[in-house]
Structure 1
Amino acid sequence: MFHYITAIILGMVEGLTEFLPVSSTGHLILVGDLLNYTGEASKTFEIFIQLGSILAVVVVYWRRFIVLIEGVFSKEKRQGLNFIHVILAMIPAVVIGLIARDAIKAYLFSPTTVLIGLVAGGILMIVAENRKKPNPTTDLDSLTYRQAFVVGLYQVLALWPGFSRSGSTIAGGILAGTSHRVAADFTFIVAVPMMVAASGLDLVKSYKYLSPSDIPFFGVGFITAFIVALVVIKVFLKLISKIKLKPFAYYRFVLAVVFLLYMLVK
């Protein structure tokens, strides 16, 4: 029974933190260690349950994804957000990720680097709030290609574990001149192809650590992550324009202290 409780807890952590600007990696490392669920199998499990969170985004933005897909095959030029925006936002992280993937896996996935990412990401979010533009883009369909590419540049920071994909891209969007809501919407939409590609590649390389007996355990984690992420995304989108990024930045600093204390007493 505790086996499945572990799956539920980690699924909840993934769903709660994947799309909040607080670093899901940092939380999963800390909680996984507390639950004594570590090693290659745990890493494969974390990759798999990310797909549950991704599915939640698809459900929330299904109409937008249909329009994006239709635009790819349509001969008519459509106004508003299109697949070019998404590609521009993906290019920087895809290129750097492919070049540095092995180095990132070898050197950056440690408690110390996650700790650095938590603090640095929090500082970036505070800087973004203090330097936001006076007349931001408030309509997702008014997002420019330049703004999309700038968001993509900031997404590169998310390759550093602990930095947070949503934290870096939302901050990047704000610095590029978008509103908090537009930055969040675009962040979630871009996350789908990015995370599907990254998770798919990692699963292909780590499937050898799986066995048929793991299916129920992985399934519980996947479903839990999906349900929790679905709720979190909807709540976050309603709150982001009101509470902004600073509360999340301060939370990251507190988490970094907890993380540090845990490393010292472990």
Structure 2
Amino acid sequence: MAEWGAALAVILGIVEGLTEFLPVSSTGHLILVGHALGFTGDVAANAEISIQLGAILAVIVFEREKIGRLLSGTWQEQGDLRRLVTESRGESWRSLLNTSMKAHPSLWFMIGLGVAFLPAAAVGLLAHGWITSHLFTPRTVAATSILGGFIILLVEARPRPGRTMTLDQVSLAEAVWIGVAQCASLIPGMSRSGSTIIGGLLAGLDRKVATEYSFFLALPTIIAATVYETYKARATFSDQDFLALGIGMVVSFLVAWAVIAAFLAYVQRHTLRVFAYYRIALGLMVFFVFR
């Protein structure tokens, strides 16, 4: 069995950074690599989830200007909304909401992001123990990789023209749909990125917008999961273990930063079919190896 330390952390950091934002499942790949190296058990499960924080920091750095504008806009718009409510006596709530949704795009984008986060958060909180105990296996990853690959091919076979062309145009209804789609990613191998991008495409988002929205939705989703898992693992990890975890996070940050830029450029010119073929081939190979 491989010992958890700096060398293994670097390997897992590279795998995490390469796969977190591609529709191929970073958790699935970490499980496969862990089993291949003999790194399994509680420490492995905790490390595989916690190391994702590095990739999330890469999104924050890469999208820092948009995040800054959204936060600044949200702060200004919530004050404007309070004034609107105060000054609109007698006006219906429906009318107020319609007015606000048009006048306060940053605020409603952030509200939508919170709404999209909730379904997977609720299901994950209730089913996390069962999922990690029963589904963190190579055969589960193989099956869901193949299933996810065919889902991508089905969606790409009948492409829909995107009607939502910028992030601040993503509606509350579209956010709900993407949030429900993200629940599929709780099953190892289904891919959080793949589930949310496909959910976005089906909801009517432009391909680049669906991809970028997936990045933003990863922020609350993975930060919450990482903090929760790291807190739970505080008794499992020693000081040396946390040092190795930090190394893995730095590596995943650097690799993910490069992948984010490359993937955004890729989806503007290409479909996701190549990832579907990769998923199917990977699943078949894993079934053969672990038969």
Which of the five TM-score ranges fits, normalised by the shorter chain?
A: over 0.9
Q: Which runs of 5+ in 1 are unaligned?
A: none
RMSD of aligned residue pairs (Cα, Å): 1.9
| Separation in 2, partners of 1:127, 1:136 | 20
Match status 1:143 vs 2:170: yes
Check the 8 A contact 1:60/1:230 in 2, yes or no: yes
TM-score normalised by length of structure 1: 0.93
**Counterpart residue type for residue 99 of structure 1:** L
Q: 1:243 aligns with which of 270, 275, 283?
A: 270
Farther off after superposition, 49-58 or 129-138 = 129-138
Q: 2:141 aligns with which of 89, 101, 114?
A: 114
Could you say which residue in structure 2 is the equivalent of 1:22? 24
**Counterpart residue type for residue 8 of structure 1:** V
Check the 8 A contact 1:71/1:83 in 2, yes or no: no
Match status 1:92 vs 2:119: yes
How much has 1:73 moved relative to structure 2?
3.3
Change (3 A) 1:88 1:132: farther
The C-alpha deviation readout for 1:183-210, integer Å capped at 9, x for no partner, is 0000000101111111111111122111
The C-alpha deviation readout for 1:30-88, integer Å capped at 9, x for no partner, is 11222222222222222221110110011111122223333443312522562112012
| Separation in 2, partners of 1:190, 1:119 | 24
| Separation in 2, partners of 1:214, 1:108 | 25
**Counterpart residue type for residue 174 of structure 1:** L
Could you say which residue in structure 2 is the equivalent of 1:128? 155
Matches within 5 A, 1:52-201: 52-74=54-76, 75-77=79-81, 78-80=104-106, 82-201=109-228
How many residue pairs get aligned? The number is 264
| Separation in 2, partners of 1:187, 1:2 | 31
| Separation in 2, partners of 1:61, 1:214 | 30
| Separation in 1, partners of 2:44, 2:248 | 11
**Counterpart residue type for residue 250 of structure 2:** I
| Separation in 2, partners of 1:215, 1:101 | 22
Percent identity over the alignment is 40
TM-score normalised by length of structure 2: 0.85
The C-alpha deviation readout for 1:231-266, integer Å capped at 9, x for no partner, is 0011000001222111101100011012112212xx
| Separation in 2, partners of 1:2, 1:89 | 35
| Separation in 2, partners of 1:100, 1:47 | 15
Change (3 A) 1:32 1:52: same
| Separation in 1, partners of 2:112, 2:258 | 26
**Counterpart residue type for residue 76 of structure 1:** D
Change (3 A) 1:36 1:246: same
**Counterpart residue type for residue 105 of structure 2:** Q
1:104 match: secondary structure: helix
Check the 8 A contact 1:17/1:27 in 2, yes or no: yes
| Separation in 2, partners of 1:240, 1:79 | 25
Change (3 A) 1:135 1:26: closer
Could you say which residue in structure 1 is the equivalent of 2:33? 31
How much has 1:2 moved relative to structure 2?
10
How much has 1:105 moved relative to structure 2?
2.3
